[in-house]
Amino acid sequence: WLVDEVAAQVPADELAAAVAGLTAPAPLWIRVNRRRATPAVVIAALTAEGATVAPTDLDDHALAVRGLGDPARSPSFRAGQWTVQDLAAQLVARLVDPQPGERLLDACAGVGGKTTHLAELAGDARIDAVDPIATKLELGRAAAARLGLAGITGHVGALASLPADRTYDRVLVDAPCSGAGVLRRHPEAATRLTRDDVRGLAALQRELLDLAATRVRPGGVLVYAVCTITEAEGPAQIAAFCARHPAFTLVTPALPPAVCVGAHVRTWPHRHDADGFFAARLMRGA
């Protein structure tokens, strides 16, 4: 059934490559911390450590690294000049496009990969990072400290636990999903995932999106992202959301055309050497 999902979204002559890409070994992508370094500085540092580093046209602060070994042992990593994050995940915060001084919500913060990226991009923005698992938020706090980032407040609990009257300029819902786009990192999941799993997760995503919509101020932005390639968790989810919430309009992404399919963002391992992600940006009417 996973092959059928892929076949529905790529040309027939790409199918074999797309399926193979989902299970091929994943590269190490890193994100340069623009608050502490430049890509040139990080490239020089990692090259001196014996690694091979390659930039990409898809994001000027993303670098593909090979031959480094354990990233945590790198002096430049310990100095907070960069962090590990897949290229596709880096594009999500770029899609949010946070601005200095804004109030932001990362509704499913996890260990803080995208939360810290938002803080890097927005400078003095105030960010609420919400997750029901305290240990994940603690890892995010440690990452922010290493990267020298401030303005992030962790909230342990469900999204509904935030004060009901609190709204935000931009809300990110990096929702729990089937993970079908990151099978190359977790190949054992391919034998466990079922269509029932996808249906259950799509229902949870719908609930999170509906709740997150109430947190977006008039004129604000809502970004939805999942690391999967299924129709139900991607395009169908956004189409249904727009039908339920006519105040929101799908906005064409200001990202490289190579990762855009209509008004959606879609990345594939075989096309971009990135994880399989889907993302969409919506704006609430004033």
User: Assign residue 148 a region: left if phi > 0, alpha if psi is -120 to 50, beta otherwise?
Assistant: left
Cα separations (Å) of 283 from 181, 185, 207, 222? 26, 33, 18, 6
CA 20 → CA 3, 25, 88, 122, 187, distances in Å? 10, 10, 18, 37, 12
155, two tokens? 């909230």
d(CA 201, CA 184) in angstroms, rounded, equals: 20
Report which of 24, 72, 63, 18 is spatially closest to residue 185, judged by C-alpha positions.
24
Mapping DSSP to helix (H, G, I), strand (E, B) and coil, where does residue 201 land? helix
Give the span between the Cα atoms of 31 and 59, in whole angstroms: 9
Query: Is 227 considered catalytic here?
Result: yes
80 — alpha (psi -120 to 50), left (phi > 0) or beta? left
Residue at 37: amino acid letter: A
**Measured distance CA(148)–CA(1) in Å, rounded:** 44
Q: Please say whether the dihedral angle defined by the alpha carbons of residues 206, 210, 212 and 213, taken in this order, is positive or negative.
A: positive
* Count of residues in the chain: 286
Q: Which of 108, 177, 227, 242 is catalytic?
A: 227
Nearest one of 211, 205, 220, 204 to 281, comparing CA atoms: 220
Active site residues: 227
